[in-house]
Structure formats: structure tokens, C-alpha cells
Amino acid sequence: MTITTRAPLPSPAEHAVSSRTAGEAIPRRFLMCRPEHFDVTYAINPWMDPTKPVDTDLAVAQWEVLRATYESLGHRVELIQPVEGLPDMVYAANGGVVYDGKAMAASFTFAERQPEGAAYHAWFDEAGLRPTIQAAAQNEGEGDFLVVGRLILAGTGFRTSVAAHHEAREFFGAPVISLELVDPRFYHLDTALAAIDDQTIAYYPLAFSAASNAILRQLFPDAIVATAADAEVLGLNAVSDGYNVVLTDKAVHLHERLRERGFNPIGVDLSELLKGGGSVKCCTLEVRA
Ligand code: ARG
């Protein structure tokens, strides 16, 4: 377990940006990458099996539905040019973190994905975000950094290093809470925890160490707790605008829990992209400018 904050843990309410009530949709700006070159040619997480066939056209069609869903909800979707030979580039969330208009480009764990860092950095730069940096410490962007109100929840254990949590805290000047992931199927924070609104998260407790569970209970006593079945279809890999929550149609319990809490779950089918170990959130980087 790693706690990088020594002061008493803040309550999320103290860190909420606005005083709006939960359940209000806020228009977002998203960066996505069309999966034209998507494939599973190597295995860097337990979901990937290079011997299983991948239907790239179907991946593109499913991804187009996700993009259209965001646009129909009033969100702005921007695109980064896909690069041949980078089959995982569709998972835009991993490209970096944008917070208060500042952008930190990822520094990938595996050689297969390392060139993506420069591509996302260039996009941030061209988009006029300032300042932008290429992170020094190993980190996989919003795969492991999730913004909840003003807090940044940060995963470690499989990909992003604790040094990157420090780097993010210094660069963004934001409180960063380190959380330790313990189950290799949930190798990024965004596979085990979803930011639903400024005060609400959903998560799968068994993906986290005991100490990280204690921290999450303390910070988010009203969190939505996902079942194993929800987690195993990557139901927590969700994107919320504060009211509409876009997630896989297969996470049926999580859809119910969200509805009970007044949110509007919207199911999509990203079965081809699940073969790479990702779902809705993985395909979506939020540009918080
Ligand atoms: N195949 C990719 C990898 O293992 C999947 C990344 C999923 N992205 C995410 N934000 N969890 O790196």
C-alpha cells in the first residue's frame, strides 16, 4: 500500500469544484482515436490473446456508436490520427491527463505502446493546452489517473508508478490519492473504479489492497459498489457526464445501481475492444481545459 498524503484525508465534498447537485449533465470535451489499426498482436494484460481473431471493421463500427452516443449527448469529440503499427492507440485514455488546461502526456510501461506518448503529446500541444509535458515517470494517463471533483485518484501496482503520482501532484498542483491495485485483470485504475460525478464513484473492492479499500471507504462512504460480474465485463470502465453514464451493456447490476441513484446508464457494445482489455473509458480521454 502506498499513501502519499500525510495530512488527514480530505472529504470529497471539500474538494468539489461547484456546488451543483449530483445528477446534472455537464457537456464534456473528449479525445478519441478511431480503431482503424486495432488488433491484438501481443499480450500485455490478461484479456489479450493474440491467437483469437479480431474483427477490425466491427471494432470500428462499435467505436462509431460510442462516438455518436457522446455527440448525441451534446459532448464534443475530437480525434487524434491513428498510427499504423500502434494497435492499442484506440485506448485514448492512456495518452495522458488533462486537468485545468494543463496536459501531461503518458510514459508507457511496455515498448509496444511507448511511441503513443509522443503522438498524444503532439496532439495536446497542437490543441493549445499549456503547459504540456512528457511525463518523466512511468504512467498510463487516465488509465490510472481519475479526476473526481478536484481530487485525482491514482492507481499503481501494474502500470503507473508511485513516482508518477508525485509528478502529477507537482505538475497539476492537485491532491493525488494513491490507490494500490492487486488483481492483474484490473491492471488500470479505470478498469476497477469509475468517476460518476464530483462526489460519487463506483468501484470493485476486490481489485484494491485492504489499505486502499479503507481509504476509498473513508473518502466515498456512499460509493456504488460493483459486483464481480459487473467488474468482469469491465463495467467500471465507464464515462459519466454527471448524469448520463456510458458503459458496457453487459454490466446489468451496475446499470440497476446507477438507475437507483438517479443516474442514466446508457449501454453500448464494445465486444471487439474488450479483446484488447478495454471498454468505454479506455477509448475516451477527457480534455479538461
Ligand atoms: N491493451 C491495452 C493495454 O494493455 C489496453 C488499455 C486499456 N486502457 C485503459 N484505459 N484501461 O495497455
Distance 101 CA to ligand 1 centre (A): 24
237 neighbors 57 (Cβ within 8 angstroms): no
Per-residue confidence (pLDDT) for residue 14, from 0 to 100: 44
pLDDT tens-digit readout, 24-34: 999 999 999 99
Handedness of CA 201, 140, 244, 11 (dihedral sign): positive
User: Among the residues of 127-220, which ranges form H helices?
Assistant: 162-172, 210-219
Per-residue confidence (pLDDT) for residue 16, from 0 to 100: 41
Cβ 188 under 6 angstroms from ligand 1: yes
Per-residue confidence (pLDDT) for residue 2, from 0 to 100: 42
74 neighbors 47 (Cβ within 8 angstroms): no
Distance 140 CA to ligand 1 centre (A): 9
Segments of the chain assigned E as strands: 29-32, 76-79, 96-99, 102-105, 132-134, 145-148, 151-156, 176-180, 193-197, 200-203, 224-225, 239-240, 244-248, 264-268, 285-286
Residue 189 pLDDT grade (very low, low, confident, very high; cuts 50, 70, 90): very high
Report d(CA 19, CA 142) in Å as an integer: 25
Cβ 88 under 6 angstroms from ligand 1: yes
Q: Which atom of ligand 1 is nearest to the CA of 190?
A: 11
pLDDT at 39 over 60: yes
Per-residue confidence (pLDDT) for residue 9, from 0 to 100: 45
pLDDT at 232 over 80: yes
Cβ 146 under 6 angstroms from ligand 1: no
Q: Which atom of ligand 1 is nearest to the CA of 140?
A: 10
Cβ 286 under 6 angstroms from ligand 1: no
Q: Which atom of ligand 1 is nearest to the CA of 276?
A: 1
Q: What's the whole-model pTM score?
A: 0.92
Within a 10 A sphere around the Cβ of 21, how many other Cβ atoms? 10
Phi/psi at 51 (5° precision):
-85, -15
Distance 241 CA to ligand 1 centre (A): 22
Distance 137 CA to ligand 1 centre (A): 18
pLDDT at 15 over 60: no
Single-letter amino acid code for the residue at 228: A
pLDDT at 57 over 90: yes
pLDDT tens-digit readout, 121-155: 999 999 999 999 999 999 999 999 999 999 999 99
Distance 61 CA to ligand 1 centre (A): 19
Cβ 190 under 6 angstroms from ligand 1: yes
| Atom 1 of ligand 1, nearest CA residue | 276
Cβ 93 under 6 angstroms from ligand 1: yes
Q: Which range, of 16-25, 64-73, 93-102, 154-163, averages the lowest pLDDT?
A: 16-25
Ligand 1, from 186, 188, 280: best to mutate by most atoms within 8 Å of Cβ?
188
